[in-house]
Amino acid sequence: MIPRPSIDPRPSTGAAGEGELVARLGCPERRRPSAFVFIVLATSLSVWTRSGADQLEEARTLVRALASVGGVAGREGPVRAAIRRAAPSWASFQEDNLGNLTVSVGSGKPGLLLLAHMDEPGYVVTGVTDQGYLKLQRLTRLSLSPLFDQFHMGQPLLIQGRRGTIPAVSVVYSTHLWRGNAAPLNRPVVDEDLFVDIGARSAADVEAAGVVLLDPVVIARRIVDLAGGKLAGPAMDDRAGCAALLLLLQELEPAKIHGTLTVAFSAQQLMGGRGAGRLANRVEADDVLVVDAPLPGGARTAPGKGPVVAVPGGTEGFSQEIYNRLAERAARTRLPLQNATYGTAGDQSAFVGKTRVLPIGVPILYTGTPAEVVDAHDIVALATLLKSIAEEDR
Amino acid sequence: MTGRARTVLLSLASITAAVLAGAGDIRAARPGREGGSFGILEALINTPGVSTREQGVRDRIRSLLPAWARPAVDAKGNLLVTVGPERAAKTLLFIAHMDETGYLVTAIREDGGLDVKAVGGFFETLYEGQVVLVHAAKGDVGGVVPPRPNYLDPSAVETPAAFGKEAVRVDVGASSRAVAESLGIAPGDPVTVPKAFQRLYGSFGSGRAVDDRAGCTALLVALRGIDPKTLRHKLIFAFSVEEETGLDGAQAMAETLRPDLAIAVDTFVSSDSPLERPAFAHAILGKGPVVRAIDSSNITDPALVDRVLNLARQAGIPVQYGLTRGGNDGSVFPEFGTPDLALSWPTVHSHSPVEVINERDLDGLGALVRAIAERW
């Protein structure tokens, strides 16, 4: 028996209960930041109201809050709720029918749009077996690691049900039962191999637990603190970008904005920038900065060494003018910048050829795994740079 | 018996189980059932204890012992609680192991990366691209097990066996050996996934090291339930070290203790999973504890199996029996003349981060251990 999908007339309750599922771990990284960080922070203190250490702590808190909820493409509700909770009280968000969140400050021209995507790759429930196991389908159009399904096998998962989050595990072979035989994991794992166990042993149990078809499924939110202000966990791409934009909003002095600044959190980036496509038609902007993770496997960048920026001049159509302005600003404020490789897929695809656009972000290690690594220093530096750009007289 | 475990179900026991399960007992998000064995299991599972580094688990178990218990630690590190008349006709030894599979740091590289070695047997790909914790002297440090270098290329799946053994490292974000050392990391430090027991729907729960913290839980449940003054036999409850690396803790006990019966309380690796074949090791989760009559290390005297089944019947405990793979701590005793009896609960996904157990099975196992302790 398979429960039929039904329309729930109630408004989304967001990420009910998900916060409790984040591993409460120690903070061994609360150590002295490197000397370079002191220089960076000392030079940028004049434009910030908070101390550098407070900003780092706030950046870490924001990343944790945003990465500790799931946001499969098209089902970004929990991330939206987390963003609303973390935003300053003056921020009055608009939400369009694709789920993009925007907040605008100032008026008139020039228009600057900063956007970061809320969604992450994941699954939706596509079936329920008679024994009560869930079957899944991956939900993304952009390419993923061929090991994506393996990363989810034998791991704790979360179902974002309509009545709250339901913990689950994905079934894996027992090592004892396969010793001496061809090891079953020595072959590619595909999503059809995944069976999800919520503790139900019949389709009726599944229904009673509140799981229905199309409910989104993500890996459990295990976020750990690494050395020197780094964090590792799922969906740092692009919650780190969202965190930088929230940090910017928290520190922004609206009166200083020249023209109109729009900060946007986009939906369905992984479906080919569908949310950004909507924004491109909704928001009038002369300049667009897409805050996202660079392509892995491109130019070598490292967490902790500053924000990353796309290099114009190729066939991608990225703006040299914005790049020059950023580089000049970064040099003047002594913020480090790393050149990175960005493709044309993703949110930038909605703007290339229509308006000046440049991708920017923070470097991420192990992109596409459930253990993406980011550095809070880079997030603070990126927010500092974006604030500087938003307040400059163009 | 060809392998399919038979379920011994008694009407009275079924009714009891149904009452215990209760209608309100089925939400995953529900608070823990008062007095249920998962309360103890959760505390034990959330404490890391990779083989040879069982100190934390030993301390946790000590804190959960009844007030009358006088625990002793032998030279190997096994924790023993002895109770009952000193001149009893029989001595029964119950053993559950404290250690778990995982990694140990073997060296810190110049670039700050950690070399590690696997402890015990498991699919190492379960750690690939996942977060871990290094349990260092100054506290836990988060880390990542980097995926195979070509993990983004289609070629990554062509050689899946390439990941494992020497290819496994841990990245804690340290840029040099000095930085890693400044965090307190040293060779020998254990590495585990972040340990967080998770209750699931119904009476199920999941976590890393259900094997064998559930066995430890059953022994603790029994210890907390018995009245030392009424015992007929001398009982030794042993919490052993280094089972996963070759039954070394039990071996040390076998060489010094001469009990009349060694009862190992450990996982029954079950095929009750859509990925396994039901023809073998098919004990059903939720249908009660399992008498592990035959495994890779031991064949129990059928008379002993029957005796346990009878005792369970008298005590109203639903129980299963069957055979599976894997060894047990009791198997080192027969060569010294002591028979080995293995008691279990059924678990799936053995040695993975998500071993699954049913609380009713663990409650039943605790009751069965107690019944044997009091009535054997």
In this complex, is the C-beta atom of A142 within 8 Å of any C-beta atom belonging to chain B?
no
How many domains are contained in chain B?
Answer: 2
| A366/B198 CB distance under 8 A | no
Q: Are residues A286 and A354 in the same domain?
A: yes
User: b/e string for B62-73 if b means 16 or more Cβ within 10 A?
Assistant: eebbeeebeeee
In this prediction the pTM is 0.88
| Cα distance between residue A336 and residue A305, in whole Å | 7
| B139/A28 CB distance under 8 A | yes
Q: B31: which 2 tokens?
A: 């608070």
Q: Are residues B289 and B312 in the same domain?
A: yes
Give the model confidence (pLDDT) of B204-251 as tens digits: 999 999 999 999 999 999 999 999 999 999 999 999 999 999 999 999
Q: Are residues B37 and B20 in the same domain?
A: yes
Q: A380: which 2 tokens?
A: 């603070």
In this complex, is the C-beta atom of B22 within 8 Å of any C-beta atom belonging to chain A?
no
End-to-end C-alpha distance for chain B, whole angstroms: 25
Q: Are residues B237 and B367 in the same domain?
A: yes
| A227/B183 CB distance under 8 A | yes
Q: Are residues B251 and B344 in the same domain?
A: yes
| B183/A183 CB distance under 8 A | no
Q: Are residues B356 and B269 in the same domain?
A: yes
Host domain of residue B165: 102-192
| Cα distance between residue A40 and residue A163, in whole Å | 45
Q: Are residues B228 and B360 in the same domain?
A: yes
| B151/A373 CB distance under 8 A | no
Does A293 reside within a domain? yes
| Cα distance between residue B228 and residue B282, in whole Å | 37
Q: Are residues A116 and A258 in the same domain?
A: yes
Does B82 reside within a domain? yes
State which of A188, A219, A250 marks the end of a domain: A219
The CATH number given to whatever domain includes residue A199 is 2.40.30.40
Q: Are residues A229 and A196 in the same domain?
A: no
Q: Are residues B337 and B354 in the same domain?
A: yes
Q: Are residues A200 and A52 in the same domain?
A: no
| Chain A residue closest in CA terms to B205 | A199
B chain contacts of residue A173, beta-carbon cutoff 8 Å = 123, 275-276, 349
State which of A184, A219, A254 marks the end of a domain: A219
pLDDT at site A147: 93
Q: Are residues A40 and A131 in the same domain?
A: no
ipTM of predicted assembly, 2 dp: 0.90
Q: Are residues A85 and A141 in the same domain?
A: no
Q: Which residue type, as a one-letter code, is found at position A116?
A: A
Residues 23-42 of B with CB under 8 A from A: 26-29
Q: Are residues B69 and B27 in the same domain?
A: yes
How many domains are contained in chain A?
Answer: 2
* Omega before A238 within 30 of 0, i.e. cis: yes
The CATH number given to whatever domain includes residue B146 is 2.40.30.40
In this complex, is the C-beta atom of A227 within 8 Å of any C-beta atom belonging to chain B?
yes
| B354/A169 CB distance under 8 A | yes
Q: Are residues A206 and A252 in the same domain?
A: no
Does A370 reside within a domain? yes
Does A7 reside within a domain? no
Cα dist. B310→A317, B171, B281, B291, B293 in Å?
79, 53, 22, 12, 14
CB A250 within 8 A of CB A88: yes
pLDDT at site B13: 35
Does B296 reside within a domain? yes
Q: Are residues A327 and A242 in the same domain?
A: yes
Give the model confidence (pLDDT) of B119-135 as tens digits: 999 999 999 999 999 99
State which of B164, B192, B220 marks the end of a domain: B192
| Cα distance between residue A290 and residue A353, in whole Å | 14
Q: Are residues B39 and B116 in the same domain?
A: no
**Local structure of B82: helix, strand or coil:** strand
Please report which residue ranges of chain A form alpha helices under DSSP H.
35-44, 52-67, 77-86, 148-152, 175-178, 203-209, 236-251, 274-282, 320-332, 376-391
Q: Are residues B301 and B286 in the same domain?
A: yes
Count the residues in chain A.
Answer: 394
Mean pLDDT of the region B312-327 = 94
In this complex, is the C-beta atom of B274 within 8 Å of any C-beta atom belonging to chain A?
yes
Host domain of residue A182: 123-219
The CATH number given to whatever domain includes residue A299 is 3.40.630.10
Q: Are residues A190 and A229 in the same domain?
A: no
| Closest to B268 (Cα-Cα) out of B199, B203, B214 | B214
> In a structure prediction context, what are the per-residue pLDDT tens digits for chain A, which is 394 residues long?
333 333 333 333 333 333 323 333 333 333 344 444 444 444 444 444 567 889 999 999 999 999 999 999 999 999 999 999 999 999 999 999 999 999 999 999 999 999 999 999 999 999 999 999 999 999 877 778 999 999 999 999 999 998 899 999 999 999 999 875 656 777 788 888 999 999 999 999 999 999 999 999 999 999 999 999 999 999 999 999 999 999 999 999 888 898 999 999 999 999 999 999 999 999 999 999 999 999 988 888 999 999 999 999 888 899 999 999 999 999 998 999 999 999 998 999 999 999 999 999 999 999 999 999 999 999 999 999 999 999 886 6
Q: Are residues A352 and A234 in the same domain?
A: yes
Does B198 reside within a domain? no
C-alpha distance from B196 to closest chain A C-alpha (Å): 7
| A199/B204 CB distance under 8 A | yes
pLDDT greater than 80 at residue B29: no
State which of A219, A243, A268 marks the end of a domain: A219
